[in-house]
Amino acid sequence: MSDKLIFEHSRSGRRASAQAPLAATANDLPEKFLRRSPPLLPEVSELQTVRHYTRLSQKNFSIDTHFYPLGSCTMKYNPRACNQLAMLPGFLARHPLGPESHGQGFMSCMYELQEMLKAVTGMKEVSLTPMAGAQGEFAGVAMIRAYHRSRNDNDRNEILVPDAAHGTNPATATMCGYSTREIPTGKNGDVDIEALKAAVGPQTAGIMLTNPSTVGVFDRSIQEMSRIVHSAGGLLYYDGANLNAILGKVAPGDMGFDVIHMNLHKTFSTPHGGGGPGSGAVGVGDRLKEFLPLPVVGKDGDRYRWLTEADFPQSIGRLSAFMGNAGVLLRAYVYMRLLGRKGMERVSENAALGANYLMKKLQDAGFELAYPERRASHEFIVTLKKEKSELGVTAMDFAKCLLDHGYHAPTTYFPLLVPECLLIEPTECEAKEDLDGFVAAMIAIREQAKTDPEKVKGAPYTMPVRRLDDVRAARQLDLRWQPGAEN
């Protein structure tokens, strides 16, 4: 990787005139708050800056350039129209502290977004403020805790989480002061009901479920699970990361869930590369309405207004400045309006069609499925344990090789209960040729592993960097660049 850091282009006194600082105008700052040395910023020309970041962007492996079947993440196309409309001048120039009367247009979009999300999930109220799936989870479990407390039901200290769950689920329960108990997954991919029955009790505050689950199947015993947990006094949390699979078909509210988060950046197609910004809007049933995070947009007659602590005195509070990631919310709103109700059904139908087509093709090509007797929801798991024992190449080797073939790797080693797994989610956006191309690449990699396994283990060869040392990256977290230091 020959590229320099932006700091390494820096020469003292060089500047981009468009960004040059104005003469200091704030001269009333107390002396003790003034800095003694200038901040460490790169001194580069405008052209150098443009070139530097354009070059970096050209190295991106992105949805705009490559097929990106990263399971559980729903890396679907972000329609240009959503960007364009979310960037209308009226939205961009709106000041969040401006009076309600100046923001009626924006507020009407947020209100309608709340209404559409209610309709599509079957929940009773929605708050848009959490800024990522994980923050939505935090809001949801905080509401579960607030609910039990409001009833003086204070001995519930445990959240149940299936072993296939995303790591943010147990992390959320822990952040909310609960201990977690793991429920095993049965051989067919559904949660082990007997184990669930044995685990629930007066200590159960709730259960966090993902349905379709992270193994890519719709859990058929959801109604029984709902009955078991509710009759023990616990609540049901729905992790909406896989909402894409059931959009317009089944509603979590009808499955018995009390609270849900939706990763708008997945199902409703807002950009989410590189960790954000996202949106983890939450929806609740009747039991949890009082506790929603604020603000929520309300409507009196034909006027929109912010609902605050005065309307929801038992709210769990605020999780973001103002309205959360307003630009992301607007993109999701436009996406939903462009699709309409019928369009949403087509999303889940085509997502399921693409996943099942790809699954069958890979199975026909001799790859082993983790749950061969199940239909894929919108994603599925291939296990490469045979390739590992017979050819000595791992799921990670396949993943790196796929990059050289022009495909982003699927999710690897998650969920961990399936050995050498690839969690593959094609989304509804891909053409048949691209799915076929992916299968051909998988076959080519396996052929190469038979004749030249070392070559496969050395991949990637065509990327800006070779195989990264992920162990060292996790063990040595210090990444600070310092001038003059050996970096």
Partner 1 sequence: MSNVPADLKYSSDHEWVRVEDDGSAVVGITDHAQGALGDLVFVEAPEPGSVFASGEAFGVVESVKAASDMLCPFGGEVLGVNSALDDTPELVNTDPYGDGWLIRMQPADTTELDGLMDAAAYEQFLEEA
Residues 90, 96, 105, 167: which binds partner 1 (CB under 8 A)?
167
**CA–CA distance, 77 with 98 (Å, rounded to integer):** 34
Rounded to a whole number, what is the distance in angstroms from the first to the last CA of the chain? Answer: 14
Applying CB under 6 A, does 239 fall inside the site for ligand PLP? yes
Which residues, 6 or more positions from 417, have their beta carbon under 8 angstroms from its beta carbon? 163, 164, 185, 215
Residues 180-219 that bind partner 1 (CB under 8 A): 182
Nearer to partner 1, 207 or 294 (CB): 207
Residues 402-461 that bind partner 1 (CB under 8 A): 413-414, 416, 419
> Among the candidate windows 127-135, 327-335, 458-466, 467-475, which touches partner 1 by CB under 8 A?
467-475
Q: At what angle do helices 104-121 and 326-364 cross, to 10 degrees?
A: 30
- Tell me which residue of 482, 241, 478, 473 sits closest to 378, measured CA to CA: 241
Applying CB under 6 A, does 282 fall inside the site for ligand PLP? no
**CA–CA distance, 269 with 332 (Å, rounded to integer):** 7
Applying CB under 8 A, does 474 fall inside the site for partner 1? yes
Residues 114, 129, 185, 210: which binds ligand PLP (CB under 6 A)?
210
202 to 71, 95, 149, 197, 232: CA distances (angstroms): 36, 48, 14, 12, 6
Select from ligand PLP, partner 1, none the partner in contact with residue 425, using the beta carbon and a kind-dependent cut-off of 5 to 8 Å: none
Applying CB under 6 A, does 140 fall inside the site for ligand PLP? no
The amino acid present at 72, given as its one-letter code, is S
Residues 52, 63, 69, 72: which binds ligand PLP (CB under 6 A)?
72
Interface size with ligand PLP, residues (CB under 6 A):
14
- Tell me which residue of 146, 147, 150, 156 sits closest to 180, measured CA to CA: 156
Query: Contact, 238 vs 302, CB < 8 A?
Result: no
Rounded to 5 degrees, φ, ψ at 264 are: -60, -30
**CA–CA distance, 362 with 64 (Å, rounded to integer):** 25
Compute the least distance from the CB of residue 467 to partner 1, in Å. 13
Residues 241, 250, 423, 429: which binds ligand PLP (CB under 6 A)?
241
Compute the least distance from the CB of residue 477 to partner 1, in Å. 10
- β-sheet bridge partners, residue 159: 180, 206
Which residues, 6 or more positions from 405, have their beta carbon under 8 angstroms from its beta carbon? 441, 444, 445
Applying CB under 6 A, does 117 fall inside the site for ligand PLP? no
Rounded to 5 degrees, φ, ψ at 118 are: -60, -45
The amino acid present at 379, given as its one-letter code, is E
Select from partner 1, ligand PLP, none the partner in contact with residue 214, using the beta carbon and a kind-dependent cut-off of 5 to 8 Å: ligand PLP
412 to 100, 417, 474: CA distances (angstroms): 47, 12, 17
Applying CB under 8 A, does 470 fall inside the site for partner 1? yes
Nearer to ligand PLP, 219 or 387 (CB): 219
Compute the least distance from the CB of residue 259 to partner 1, in Å. 25
Residues 130, 140, 216, 280: which binds ligand PLP (CB under 6 A)?
280
Compute the least distance from the CB of residue 469 to partner 1, in Å. 10
Applying CB under 8 A, does 26 fall inside the site for partner 1? no
**CA–CA distance, 173 with 181 (Å, rounded to integer):** 10
Applying CB under 6 A, does 377 fall inside the site for ligand PLP? no
Compute the least distance from the CB of residue 123 to ligand PLP, in Å. 17
Sketch the per residue contact string, 255 through 274, with ligand PLP: x for CB under 6 A, - otherwise. --------x-----------
Select from partner 1, ligand PLP, none the partner in contact with residue 475, using the beta carbon and a kind-dependent cut-off of 5 to 8 Å: partner 1
**CA–CA distance, 471 with 476 (Å, rounded to integer):** 9
Compute the least distance from the CB of residue 182 to partner 1, in Å. 8
Applying CB under 8 A, does 475 fall inside the site for partner 1? yes
Query: What is the 3 state secondary structure string of 135-191?
Result: HHHHHHHHHHHHHHHHCCCCCCCEEEEECCCCCHHHHHHHHCCCEEEEECECCCCCE
Q: Which residues bind partner 1 (CB under 8 A)?
A: 167, 182, 413-414, 416, 419, 470-471, 474-475
Instruction: Provide the binding-site residues for ligand PLP, judged by CB under 6 A.
Output: 72-73, 132-134, 166, 168, 210, 214, 239, 241, 263, 278, 280
